[in-house]
Amino acid sequence: MKFLVTSTTLANKLAEMSKVMTSKTASPILSHFLFELEGENLQITASDGECFQHSVLPVATVEGSGKVCLPADRLLNALRNMPEQPIGFTINETTLNITVKYTNGHYEFVGNSANEYSTPTSLSHDAKQVQIEAKMLNTAISQSLFAVAIDDLHPIMNGVYLTMKEKMFQSVATDGLKLVRNTYKLGDPLEEVSFLLPTKAAKIINNLTSKVTTPVTINYNEREAIFVLENDTFRCRLLEGRYPNYNSVIPQNNSNSATIDRESLLYAIKRVGLFSSTANGCIVMNFSGINLNVSGKDIDYSTSAEEKLFCSYSGENVKIGFKGEHLKQILENTKSKEVIFQLGDHSRAAVITPINEDENIENLSLLMPILVD
């Protein structure tokens, strides 16, 4: 079989799909891309055994049809070093010899039989289906990923929890020290949905949905989910188990409230953090009157820093410490001009919310304090 495709188009698509694959595979065939030529469409599949991405590229000058497995590393490295130009593939389905011709040269290598590559069957009859706007799904995941845990002892927290109910879509992630809950109001009611995306799958879906404008169709059951986009289909195993009751840990009666310019606080934390403890990265925030003092110190290296910021504050004086890196992550993943800190005392979690212009979006972050010397 033969086909013609633009080098850059193919290289970009393969580089995207290679993120599904892993260097340590249970089966050597999973280090290959599966190419299937049908008419003027080249269908490409990549997998790590649990995740599958299936993409379609239009091609030209087609002769014949068929399928073959191509070694991923060799093909990707060859295409990365090639300027944009049309390249022609000639594949002998009997010997599996592959020739790639371009303007001033050619590559020759050997593929593998497509019969070795196993693709998943369709979902079980109890599968459900729902549609959601790509932009909303992308935003929900991108604003949650920073809070996902990396914990082998509690794998249920190593993902983004997505729920849909009536006219609400929600994404949640937590690592036990910080929690983020993003809520989006929907125009039309949806059937109740809840599933837990592993971190790797969430990152891939986040990348795929950044490039499309049409709704994403999600087919799912208790164990797997399939995301159908314009030219891509992504399938993954879901994390199984009961997700923590995150709403129960969010304080409802923090009586002290401060409104602060987000960027001013973010940059102050970055500067002060350079002089804070390398052991725990503690940033101390002292709220009193119209001032917020941000400070950090490292006794071992005799360094310290302090900055004073203006804030609109109501409540009792509160001195509370947070891990600086966690504060930075929350503020960097918030897009509003100002944020509100709702505080209890130095031992209770703080609730951080942006002042959103869009009344249909509610973002909330929770951050546990650390001991202040």
- pLDDT tens, 40-85? 999 999 999 999 999 999 999 999 999 999 999 999 999 988 999 9
List the single range of 39-53, 112-126, 157-171, 198-212 with lowest mean pLDDT.
112-126
- pLDDT tens, 125-153? 788 899 999 999 999 999 999 999 998 88
Angle between helices 134-142 and 199-209 (to 10 degrees): 140
Could you tell me the pLDDT band of residue 362, with boundaries at 50, 70 and 90? very high
Residue 92 is classified by DSSP as -
Residue 359: count other Cβ atoms within 10 Å of its Cβ: 7
Average model confidence (pLDDT) across the chain: 93
Could you tell me the pLDDT band of residue 356, with boundaries at 50, 70 and 90? confident
What's the confidence (pLDDT) of residue 86?
95
Residue 315 is classified by DSSP as S
What's the confidence (pLDDT) of residue 25?
76
pLDDT over 90 percentage in the chain: 80
What's the confidence (pLDDT) of residue 289?
82
Residue 171, pLDDT > 90, answer yes
| Cα–Cα dist 183/169, whole Å | 6
Residue 120, pLDDT > 90, answer no
Q: Is 286 helix (H, G, I), strand (E, B) or coil?
A: strand
Residue 118: count other Cβ atoms within 10 Å of its Cβ: 12
- pLDDT tens, 321-351? 999 999 999 999 998 999 999 999 888 999 9
Could you tell me the pLDDT band of residue 359, with boundaries at 50, 70 and 90? confident
All domains in the chain, ordered by first residue: 2-116 (3.10.150.10), 128-248 (3.10.150.10), 250-367 (3.10.150.10)
Residue 188, pLDDT > 80, answer no
pTM, whole model, 2 decimals? Answer: 0.91
What's the confidence (pLDDT) of residue 53?
96
Task: Specify which residues 227 forms β-bridges with.
Answer: 218, 234
Return the higher-pLDDT residue of 23 and 52: 52
| Cα–Cα dist 198/273, whole Å | 31
pLDDT over 70 percentage in the chain: 100
